[in-house]
Amino acid sequence: MDSEKHKIYYSISEVAKKINANTSLIRFWQKEFDIIKPKKNSRGNRIFTKKDLENIQLIHHLLKEKKYTIEGAKKKMRDNKDGVNKNFEIIQRLKTIRNQLSQIRDELKI
Q: What is the pLDDT along the chain (110 residues), one digit of tens a residue?
A: 445 567 889 999 999 999 999 999 999 999 999 989 999 999 999 999 998 998 999 899 999 989 999 999 998 888 876 777 777 777 778 888 988 999 999 988 86
Q: What is the DSSP string of 5-36?
A: HT--EEEHHHHHHHHT--HHHHHHHHHH-TT-
- Taken in order of first residue, the domains within the chain and their CATH numbers are 2-79 (1.10.1660.10)
Measured between alpha carbons, how far is 22 from 12 in angstroms, rounded to an integer? 9
